[in-house]
Every structure is written in structure tokens, then in C-alpha cells.
Structure 1
């Protein structure tokens, strides 16, 4: 069985390969068809679904997976959010969300102004390619949880839902 993830980001690909151990897993750049920086749970989820569906539309894979990071507002606070989607050839769509962590209030104006969290994090942490490594979650949890681990959790949720549906 072939699984294609709608990203070339090595962190996302490693997360999927960790769960789909016996499958052929490849990454493909596809657009999320949402803002470069999703600003809500709904938009982040939509981006994940769009990526997964495009994998099926543009390849012969059996399963398309989309993983999308975004931010969401709760009251006056910004939180990191992430969503995943698994779509099958039978057009079954499974979605799941993962960990959330508070972001510094100083990020709000930059994010609302169109900046991407990955770029903000590089400057904030004085590191390069945070989005391809530990991610914002790694920085703000003092590397107790990495971006890959966060996405592994989401992929486990997707895989479990799909596996359960297959048994019916």
C-alpha cells in the first residue's frame, strides 16, 4: 500500500513513516489552499484535508495524508494548533487534532499581519528552520515534545480511526 503525505517537510514525513511502518511513504508538495499561516482550528483542519485530498488526486496512492500547523485564539490568547487528515480512495475522511500550547502575546500582531509562525520562531529562538526541526512546540516545551512527536500523535489518531473503520 502506498501512502503519500502532502508535504516535503522531513518532520512530517518522519512522523508518518513512524506509524505506517510497512507501507511505502513518500512526500509530495501540494498547496493547502488556505492561508500560508492558518489562523483558526477550522482553517488549519481544512488545510490538512485539502493536502490529503490532493495527494489522492495527483498520485496513484491508496491513502493521502495532510498535516497542518496553525494558530488559534482562545479569549485573548494565541495557541499553537495542529490538524491531520487521512483520506482513502473510497473517499473516507478521518481527521484529528493534537497538542496545543500557549504562544507569546507578542506574536499576535505579526501573525495577524500575515507572518508565518515558522519565520517568527526562527527569529524568536535565534535558530534556523525551526519548522523542520523541533517546531514551536519543541521551543515552548523546552524540547520535551518535538514537532515530530506532536505529529506522530496526530498520525496515531488518524491511523487508529482508519484501522477501526476497516474492521467494520
Structure 2
């Protein structure tokens, strides 16, 4: 995808550029929705780019999952410093009381070195999916295998499948985007 050239955009009325550290359409859409919801009076162009999370393909635990989200935002900023905001979203799993839970961390960075952080709600995975993940599959691949789907991680994912579509994955991530934008929405107290 082509990125707008900053020198051709007037500063006072230009759209702000947000780079998501992933080309996953769900992550791009939830970021676009979240920024437009948080800042209704501003215009944003949201683009995705593939960057390295520098963590395991399937992060385990809060620290590794957060680090993956942070690294995605940081590496997007390093790769495209002309943007206004950079977003990292990383899905992770953890064990809790002998069951596996799934969630995602969101990190938002800006030019002023401000950082916003948030985590989605968690939900418990069925044992059949947990076992596949423990044997090395990512949750999306495990979902595809168990539910006979293709590329569910770029669709409604486990949260959508397990809730029978009542929790939309874009909306699930969008709430975490909004929560990560709190410091930017309230700059006078952060």
C-alpha cells in the first residue's frame, strides 16, 4: 500500500496517519474504528505494515504478549517514522486454574513518546483448542482445525466462533484500542 507523502499535505487540515504493526484486516479495522470513535473531530488514515513482534509466534503470559504489542508499535514507528501514531496488537494465551485463557494487548505510541496500553477481556478456551496450542499451533490454526475453517484469525477468530458471533472480533479489539487511547484523549492529566 502506498503511504501519503507528508510534504504534500497541509499541516492544519491534513489527515493523521496511523500505522498498525500488522497487515491483519481485523487489527487495521479495529484501529480505524477506535481512532475515529475516540477523536470524532479528526480524520485518520490507518495503514497496516508487517513488522516483527520479536516474541514467540504464540506469546504466553502477560509479559511476553505485552512485549509483542510494544515491539510491533515500536518497530512500526522505526519503519515509518513519518506517521502520527503507531499501534501494536498482540494476542496471547495464559494458564489460569488449569485452563487456558486468551486475550490481546494493545500499545499505542505517538511522536511525543506518549504511550497508551490496554488489554482486552479474557475468555477461557476449550480443552481441545488448548491442547493444540500447547502442542505448538497458534490459536487461529487451532480454531481452523477444530471448527473446519480457513484463516479464522483474519476473521472473527476464537472469540467470534465461541460466542456464536455475538462478540465480533473487531469490536472486541476496538474497545481495547479506545482504552489505550485514554492518555491521548486526556493529555492534560497524563
Report the TM-score when normalising by structure 2: 0.84
Q: Identify which of 59, 64, 68 aligns with 2:90.
A: 68
What residue number does 2:111 align with? 89
Quick check: which has more Rg, 1 or 2?
Answer: 2
Cα deviation code 1:69-91 (max 9, x no counterpart):
11111120101111100011222
Would the aligned equivalents of 1:55 and 1:61 in 2 still touch at CA under 8 Å? Answer: no
**Distance in 2 between residues matched to 1:126 and 1:166, nearest whole Å:** 49
What's 1:150 paired with? 172
Q: Is the 8 A contact 1:80 1:103 kept in 2?
A: yes
Q: 2:156 aligns with which of 122, 130, 134?
A: 134
SS of alignment partner, residue 26 of structure 1: strand
2:27 alignment counterpart: 12
Equivalent residue runs for 1:95-106 within 5 Å? 95-106=117-128
State the superposition RMSD in angstroms.
Answer: 1.4
TM superposition score normalised by structure 1 = 0.94
Q: Deviation at 1:133?
A: 0.7
Check conservation: 2:34, 2:175, Cα contact below 8 A.
no
Conservation of the 8 A alpha-carbon contact between 1:101 and 1:140:
no
Residue number among 56, 74, 83 corresponding to 2:77 in the alignment: 56
CA positional deviation for 1:167 = 6.1
Which residue does the alignment assign to 1:44? 65
User: d(CA) in 2 for partners of 1:106 and 1:165?
Assistant: 45
Aligned length: 168
Shift of 1:110: 2.4
List runs of 5+ in structure 1 lacking aligned partners: none
- Counterpart of 2:3? none
Post-superposition CA distance 1:45-100 (Å, at most 9, x none): 11111000111111011111001111111120101111100011222221100111
